[in-house]
């Protein structure tokens, strides 16, 4: 994984290395220092305590004293938290319908544009559906991203029924032989009941009109919002079957530790990371590269 994430990796790596090497011995003082460093990197307290407790057990059983071995074991523990195997990979089944959900301002519509370009560059034919019909700016924004990426957008007027947009998009998908539909949906988390009903209706339209299509629900979270992003993930998980996370704005200003909290506490895989505002500023998540970047 490449990208402008040096601030998070460099700072965390330096602090962990300094703490481990400076002590010269493995004791409770070291464990306390590691806990503090990880918690202040936006990793949830419960997740941190769990990781450090596992580190204590390894140290006790294997009688580890070499600081380099402590780094190696902590890296292995952190990798196990975020490594969710095939769950972290976007489905390879086609046709594929991707419902993109998330609160307004999280980078949801922007993610649709970048994800569409990402899939198109890898050989997929892609179609957009502007199903966030309650915000005129969302429709216009997706049209602009579609123009940039050379991807057509199915859209209705502001205030239209989102399910009608999805229906028309599915018909276009079948008629044009397109492999992937990416649908931008409304981000009104403060009206959870309406959001739930809307997503349920969209799901019924898909099941009725294109049952053979594989469906993924990707939740877009702003990586700079820390614990708020985790709370949003919990609430969205209550109203829809989220299959994975897209973490946006993970650039030089984001701490990035939220990845561990999402994986450990919510059991949801991170599938993509957005690193900027450009069309190509998105990458598939790699647990090995992500954790490796912390310790390199």
pLDDT at 182: 98
pLDDT at 189: 61
Check whether residue 74 and residue 138 sit in a common domain. no
pLDDT digits (tens, 9 = 90+) for 53-89: 999 999 888 877 777 788 899 999 999 999 999 999 9
Do 256 and 270 contact (CB within 8 A), yes or no?
no
Check whether residue 219 and residue 178 sit in a common domain. yes
pLDDT at 5: 47
Q: Look up residue 266 and give its DSSP letter.
A: I
Q: Is the pLDDT of residue 2 over 60?
A: no
**The domain that contains 274 carries what CATH number?**
3.40.50.300
* Domain extent at residue 39: 6-85
pLDDT digits (tens, 9 = 90+) for 110-169: 999 999 999 999 999 999 999 999 887 899 999 999 999 999 999 999 999 999 999 999
Region of 257 (left: φ > 0; alpha: ψ -120 to 50; beta: rest) is alpha
Check whether residue 101 and residue 238 sit in a common domain. yes
Number of domains in the chain: 2
**The domain that contains 12 carries what CATH number?**
1.20.120.140
**Residue 119 burial (CB count, 10 A):** 20
pLDDT at 24: 72
Check whether residue 58 and residue 68 sit in a common domain. yes
Nearest to 221 by CA among 129, 85, 58, 111: 111
- Last residue of a domain, which of 85, 115, 141? 85
For the entire predicted model, the pTM comes to: 0.90
Check whether residue 31 and residue 92 sit in a common domain. no
């Amino acid at each position: 994984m490449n990208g402008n994430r040096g601030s998070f990796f460099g700072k965390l790596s330096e602090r962990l290395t300094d703490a481990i090497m400076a002590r010269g011995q493995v004791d409770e003082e070291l464990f306390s220092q590691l806990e503090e460093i990880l918690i202040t990197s936006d990793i949830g307290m419960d997740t941190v305590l769990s990781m450090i407790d596992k580190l204590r057990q390894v140290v006790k059983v294997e009688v580890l004293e070499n600081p380099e071995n402590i780094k190696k074991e902590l890296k292995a523990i952190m990798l196990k938290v975020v490594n969710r195997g095939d769950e972290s990979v976007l489905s390879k089944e086609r046709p594929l319908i991707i419902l993109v959900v998330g609160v307004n301002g999280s980078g949801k519509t922007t993610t649709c544009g970048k994800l569409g370009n990402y899939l198109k560059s890898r050989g997929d034919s892609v179609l957009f559906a502007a199903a966030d019909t309650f915000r005129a700016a969302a429709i216009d924004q997706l049209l602009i991203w579609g123009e940039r990426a050379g991807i057509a957008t199915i859209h209705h007027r502001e205030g239209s029924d989102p399910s009608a947009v999805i229906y028309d998009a599915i018909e276009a998908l079948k008629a044009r032989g397109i492999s992937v539909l990416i649908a931008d949906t409304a981000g009104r988390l403060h009206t959870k009941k309406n959001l739930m009903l809307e997503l349920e209706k969209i799901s019924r339209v898909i099941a009725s009109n294109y049952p053979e299509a594989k469906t993924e629900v990707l939740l877009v979270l702003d990586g700079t919002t820390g614990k708020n992003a985790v709370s949003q993930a919990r609430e969205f998980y209550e109203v829809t079957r989220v299959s994975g996370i897209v973490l946006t704005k993970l650039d030089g200003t984001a701490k990035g530790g939220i990845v561990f909290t999402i994986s450990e506490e919510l059991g949801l895989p991170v599938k993509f990371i957005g690193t900027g505002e450009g069309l190509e500023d998105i990458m598939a998540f790699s647990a090995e590269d992500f954790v490796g970047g912390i310790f390199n």
